[in-house]
Amino acid sequence: MSDMNISYDEKTRIFKLDTARTSYLIGIVDDEGFIGHVYYGKIISDSSASYLMRTGEAPFVPSQNSRDRSSFFDAFPMEFPSCNTGDYRESAIELLDARGHNGVEIVYQAHRILKGKPGLSGLPATFGGETECMTLEIDGMDKVLGLKVTLRYSIFEDVDVVARSVSVKNMSEESFFLTRLMSASIDMDQEDYRLLTLHGSWARERHMESREIGCGKTSVGSTRGESSHQEHPFMALVSETAAQERGSVYGFHFIYSGNFIAQVERTQFDSLRVQMGIHPKNFCYQVKPGEVFQAPEVILTYSDEGLGGMSRTLHDLYRNHLIRSPYKDKKRPILINNWEATYFNFNTEKLLDIAREARKAGIEMLVMDDGWFGRRNDDNTSLGDWKVNEEKLKGGLKPLVDQVNRIGLKFGIWFEPEMVSPDSDLYRTHPDWAIAIPGRTPCRSRNQFVLDLTRREVLEYVYNSVAEVLHSANIEYVKWDMNRQLTDLGSLYLGRENQGELSHRYVLAVYELQERLIKEFPDLLLENCSGGGARFDPGMLYYSPQIWCSDDTDAIERLVIQEGTALIYPLSAIGAHVSDCPNHTVGRSTPFSTRGNVALAGTFGYELDITKISEEDKAQIPEQVALYHRYNDLVREGDYYRIASYRQNHFYDCWAVVSKDKKEALVTFVQVLRRPNHHSRMIKLKGLNPEMRYKVCEGTNPDEGVGCVYYGDTLMNAGIPMEEMWGDCQSRLIFLAAEGSGV
Ligand code: DGJ
């Protein structure tokens, strides 16, 4: 018997969507046809709970009390709030109709309950088969405008998630211009929720921040053309009393890689209106008669097991229902990337030297980063000229790749396909291909411009440039980078009425490019990247199973960045490498072993000149490679538990990954600061089976260093001691294997 169900009660006119542990209820108000939000949260049994909409209280519904229609609208919990007809809270939709008016009022028209989940045309979205998910579609209509809105809700058999999206169809004879369309809007009571968001900057992505929800509107967003380093398309309402493994958490995550807004509005009645969608700034999208505009998907999840419950749900959702790559369930080749090793200063010999040493240490793939094309000897030139620089790579790319393959490594390559350097043949030939406002000198960033991908010929040029290189040699991995954000939003291709579509069309074009790429090269391992992690979002995960997390590779900085990232993304998606010290971003020196242990909580790889590092460090690489091979299945597929946070305690960090059958666990402990004159810390583990007995050991071989055997409840309730290690930035890996599990 499935836990997932969608029902419609004809009598009460309530839709009820149930997952194993959550319920989502929507109600239709009699006579009026308004679509109300009834409930979202921990599972409830009644499908007749329309009292939750409070229509039996003053000011009553307009059919009973039309003089106070505005009072009703301004308080009623709307499922998809209209605009300019009495509800002064934020609208889910705004537009300019043919007469220049902005008024929308949606009432229920029809619904369908479907097995499975339809895809969203041109957009990334979660997916699942007919036995894995169900979908409710509710059509609403504004008869005055001739506008049909379809609200879509999908639920899943295996995760407590509601995936919500909306499309708008123009059924009239005239165009209208959408100026705001939220993919999800929820009205709920403010109890004791705080707002948790992820914010940052270059080299400081996804730091967790929690704040009180004051009256009025509080939002985070991006208007930079990508999801951005600065804010993240995620927010959570976290009960004040919630902790890592207990208490109420509502998570909202946007499957989109462009401009977004995530907003909470606390109203005069102490209710909250929570919204997520494309940022309305610079958004003005023409919908012609008969056309449909599809908004991206928002993931809603409720956990009564604190932040940890939300993390594990999102990890499972993305691993099972979003990432499509054939690498999703596989160990990725351990790569060595030459960026921090050489920057732009390399040639075939240098790369082959790196490859030979890497091979000896057990590394499996060489990735050639920026600088292999045009005259790209620094970051001022040649983006767009995707022709091999034969001064650096004598004889071209194929001989290099063949030699790397002969050494025994796979080969990967870097591109930044969306960009053009002013100093490039491409720009000299097609200056009009860059995004710019005519008459203005466009703003340079890293001395480059962004290509206008809304133009078909530009998109074709970009795609063919990349594909040609990939066809020219045995290239098995691509790092797709984007090193600047959008400004000067003007397209010489789009008409006057369509300039407000540029940012969204740009994102759709990136999706189209990557979709074509993975279709034409189905075995390619694609890693997205944007000046580090500025486009680390669920949208990109639909195309690539991993994303470069941050340009900050310092192991200690990474603790905070990876904590924020792992809050909502599976470890299998987090690009993490061991780099050289002093660290190139912060100048800190940390033990090689700690850099390795932190990178093991991601895709794992190296970003250093292996021909130059100390023999002592180099000698550790084969050990780390062995750790990766021993533990990566567990790290990739297991359940993630956050045990302690250096961000909060300022001394140490600790997390664990527990296998789904609870027979294995890997605990990573990082002592950032040594505390003098201090006894061992008792670390209470999480997620184990209280009744299983676990062997506790360190290192690659579980039979080595078995200190003791304890029940799961002892390890979770009493804990295991972590003795102070000598010096700062030290770390330990502890492996637990259930007795008799054969591990
Ligand atoms: C930014 C990336 O995050 C780096 O890893 C590197 O690829 C540079 N771009 C190259 O320009």
- Domain locations in the chain as residue ranges: 5-321, 335-637, 642-738
| 446 CA distance to ligand 1 middle (Å) | 12
| Alpha-carbon span 71 to 66, nearest angstrom | 10
Which mutation among 336, 550, 551, 553 tests ligand 1's pocket best, with the greatest number of atoms within 8 A of CB?
Answer: 551
pLDDT at 698: 83
CATH of the structural domain 5-321, one choice from 3.40.720.10, 3.30.360.30, 2.70.98.60, 3.30.465.10: 2.70.98.60
- Partners of 41 in beta bridges: 23
pLDDT greater than 70 at residue 631: yes
Dist. CA 90–CA 216, nearest whole Å: 10
In the predicted structure, residue 706 carries a pLDDT above the cut 60? no
Tell me what percent of the residues of the chain surpass a pLDDT of 90.
97
Structure tokens belonging to residue 44:
């409830």
What is the residue with the minimal CA distance to atom 2 of ligand 1? Answer: 531
Q: Does domain 335-637 have CATH number 3.20.20.70?
A: yes
For residue 370, the CA-to-ligand 1 centroid distance in Å is 7
pLDDT of 700 over the 90 cut? no
Please give the number of the atom of ligand 1 that sits closest to the Cα of 339.
Answer: 6
Atom of ligand 1 nearest to the CA of 530: 3
Model confidence at 703: pLDDT above 60: no
Dump pLDDT digits (tens) for 154-199. Answer: 999 999 999 999 999 999 999 999 999 999 999 999 999 999 999 9
CA neighbours within 13 Å on the CB side: how many for 224?
Answer: 21
What's residue 741's pLDDT? 73
Residue among 249, 274, 247, 279 nearest 261 (CA): 279
Residues within 6 Å of ligand 1 by CB: 339, 369-370, 414, 481, 483, 529, 531-532, 548, 551
CA distances to 220, 534, 661 from 505, in Å: 22, 19, 44
CA of residue 152 to ligand 1 center, whole Å: 38
Closest residue by Cα to atom 11, ligand 1, is 370
Q: Bridge-partner residues for 669, per DSSP? A: 654, 732
What is the pLDDT at residue 466?
A: 98
Residues 6+ apart with CB under 8 A from 48: 9, 11, 12, 14
For residue 84, the CA-to-ligand 1 centroid distance in Å is 46
Q: DSSP labels for 120-172?
A: -TTS------TTTEEEEEEEEEETTTTEEEEEEEEEESSS-EEEEEEEEEE-S
Beta-carbon count within 10 A of 215 CB: 11
Average pLDDT rounded to a whole number, residues 248-260? 98
CA distance 586 to 364: 28
Nearest protein Cα to ligand 1, atom 1: 531
What ligand 1 atom has the least distance to the C-alpha of 379?
A: 11
Pocket test of ligand 1: the residue of 202, 340, 346, 369 to mutate, having most ligand atoms within 8 Å of its CB, is 369
151: nearest Cα among 76, 50, 81: 81
Cα(358)–Cα(486) distance, rounded to whole angstroms? 38
pLDDT, tens digit, for every residue of 356-376?
999 999 999 999 999 999 999
Q: Is the pTM of this model over 0.95?
A: yes
Residue-averaged pLDDT of the chain? 97
Measured distance between the N- and C-terminal CA atoms of the chain, rounded to whole angstroms: 33
Q: Strands 271-278, 260-266: parallel, antiparallel or unpaired by DSSP?
A: antiparallel
CB of 517 closer than 8 Å to CB of 467? yes
Instruction: Give the integer Cα–Cα distance in Å for 41 and 304.
Output: 9
User: How many angstroms separate the alpha carbon of residue 202 from the centre of ligand 1?
Assistant: 11
Cα(135) to centroid(ligand 1), Å: 40
pLDDT at 742 over 90: no
Closest residue (by CA) to atom 6 of ligand 1? Answer: 339
* DSSP 8-state symbol, 714: I
Residue 584, both tokens = 């190139």
Closest among 646, 534, 548 to 257, alpha carbons compared: 534
CB 147 within 8 A of CB 176: yes
Q: Of all protein residues, whose CA lies closest to atom 9 belonging to ligand 1? A: 531
- Closest to 256 (Cα-Cα) out of 161, 125, 152: 125
CATH number assigned to the domain covering 642-738: 2.60.40.1180
Phi, psi of 178, rounded to the nearest 5 degrees: -75, 130
338 CA distance to ligand 1 middle (Å):
10
Query: Both tokens of residue 365?
Result: 């793939």
Q: Among all residues, which ones are annotated catalytic?
A: 481, 551
- Cα–Cα distance, 641 to 310 (Å, whole number): 11
480 CA from centroid of ligand 1 (Å): 9
Pocket test for ligand 1, best of 343, 416, 481 (most atoms within 8 A of CB): 481
For residue range 19-30, list pLDDT tens digits in order.
Answer: 999 999 999 999
Q: What is the pLDDT of residue 199?
A: 98
Ligand 1 binding pocket mutation candidate from 205, 483, 484, 606 (most atoms within 8 A of CB): 483
Instruction: Give the model's pLDDT for residue 2.
Output: 81
The closest residue, in CA terms, to atom 10 on ligand 1 is: 370
